[in-house]
Amino acid sequence: MGACYNEDLPSFSYAASMVDPRFSKPVHDNVHGNIYLDQLSLKFIDTEQFQRLRDLKQLGVTHMVYPGAVHSRFEHSLGVYWLAGDAISKIASYQGLELGIDRRFDIQTVKLAGLLHDVGHGPFSHLFEHEFLPRVLNGSKWSHEEMSLKMIDHIVDAHNIDIEPGCHKKVKEMIVASNENAPSKSWKEKCFLYDIVANGRNGIDVDKFDYIFRDSRACGLGCNFQFERLLENMRVIDDEICYRAKERLTIHKLFASRADLHRTVYSHAKVKAIELMIVDALTNANDTLKIASKIQDPDAYWKLDDTIIKTIETDPNPALKESKDLILRIRRRDLYQFCNEFAVPKDKLEHFKNVTPQDIICSQRTGGVTLKEEDIAVSNAKIDLTCGRNNPVDRVNFFQDYESNEKFLIQDERISHLLPSNYLDMIVRVYAKKPELVEAVCEAFENFQMRTYGMKTQVHATPEKKKCRR
């Protein structure tokens, strides 16, 4: 028999209901209200390694376009901690006995995984690991999740934190649960606990709940996704978190809201221009400051954060002049010039390869300005619903009502006929690093489209006033 539910019962936060104010510390969050931090979590929070997250902006350089986006990895981590505790506590309140949930060990472990999931994150959001490191370390596969595992070990050892070995191990497993090469789960039962913070099954997790709502709010955007509905309408069937069938559109809105943020915020043309300049500045400074050498040693790595830009600006070493000049250009809003963009045709997505500056140069016609590779920057922005060309909702299991113990998939046509038939966009943008090169870059970019696709795939022509800018 499954757990017995009553739809008429008022919703409540079991996470909050089990908080003893004598042994917890309240912190007010502008998204979730009061967050209560337990004693073990505070031992991790009150370390220099965790406090470093205050100096990592959640959205990297996005605040230079959306001024309100100054929130940090620190507050996001507290938010995920709270939602992780709320999720597991709600499951425990309904199905705790049925699932064998240990209200102390299991709940503490899930909450710690939420708290520490980003403790190994690099500067400037994902730019550091996906753009900078592959450039200076020949295709580096380093990930912040793996560094989070090392950082947790380092914090425990450096601060003599008394944590049960089993809890310590499972926290790390939960953080990388969505990775393809994640270690096998030491829990042979209660695998659903691994889906709460980093869900490798279908991508629905409290990490997304927090950053989608928090980022939307910080950027002044509306968010029609209500994560509370999912927290109130989930249950575990066959060791998997499933959702009530009536919430199928809420789940679609989760993935659609994430894609909208990528399109309008994370991949904003100006944001990408600044990111490209930051990558160039860090790359030019790497030999002098040995930035990339810090990524293997947690004791050196925790000292690396967004303030690396201020370090470059204030260091008197003349070898940093090129990097300093780039940062000064950002300060003065003398950015790489956006020339144009196109969306890769749907029938070409499967075999698409990232466009490079060399591709654009090879498309330049003779005569006029001769472009060089260092004159051009290219951004290849992938926007999807977390599952590439596939629909992530196809991987989500539902249940009909609380009297049912059966889970099932729901086809798109049963959700709505207005849902998209394609789930992936690839946007290629080209930038001229100097204003006087805009016209030549625009022409070469158009030639590239004609040579590759037999037509111009960009929506608009580049304005003449931009081409004539000097």
Active site residue 144: yes
| pLDDT level of residue 90 (50, 70, 90 thresholds) | very high
Mean pLDDT confidence for 357-371? 89
pLDDT at residue number 417: 64
pLDDT digits (tens, 9 = 90+) for 181-200: 555 666 667 999 999 999 99
Q: Tell me the pLDDT band of 19, cut-offs 50, 70 and 90.
A: low
pLDDT category at 389 given cuts 50, 70, 90 is: confident
Question: Which H/E stretch holds residue 39?
Answer: helix 39-45
pLDDT of residue 368: 78
Q: Does 235 score more than 50 pLDDT? A: yes
Question: Over the chain, what is the mean pLDDT?
Answer: 91
Q: Class of the 14-269 domain?
A: mainly alpha
pLDDT for the residue numbered 8 = 37
The pLDDT of residue 20: 67
DSSP state letters, 185-211: PS-SS-GGGGGTTS-TTTS--HHHHHH
- The tokens describing 283, both together, are 């790359």
What number is the average pLDDT over the span 336-353? 94
CB count, 10 Å around CB of 17? 9
Specify the higher pLDDT residue, 112 or 23: 112
Question: Coil, strand, or helix at residue 305?
Answer: coil
Would you place residue 462 in the very low, low, confident or very high pLDDT band (cuts 50, 70, 90)?
confident
What span, in angstroms and rounded, lies between the C-alpha atoms of 335 and 322?
Answer: 15
How many residues are given for the chain?
A: 470
Q: Is the model's pLDDT at 50 over the cut of 70?
A: yes
pTM tops 0.85, yes or no: yes
Alpha-carbon gap, residue 338 to 267, rounded angstroms: 13
pLDDT of residue 3: 40
Task: Give tens-digit pLDDT for 299-317.
Answer: 999 999 999 999 999 999 9
Which regions of the chain carry the CATH code 1.10.3210.10?
A: 14-269
The mean pLDDT of 29-55, rounded to a whole number, is 97
List the catalytic residue out of 121, 144, 154, 252.
144
- Asked if pLDDT for residue 367 goes beyond 90, the answer is no
CATH 3.30.70.2760 placement within the chain: 336-385+423-470
pLDDT range class, residue 103, cuts 50, 70, 90:
confident
Topology of the domain covering 336-385+423-470: Alpha-Beta Plaits (3.30.70)
Q: Which pLDDT belongs to residue 466?
A: 73
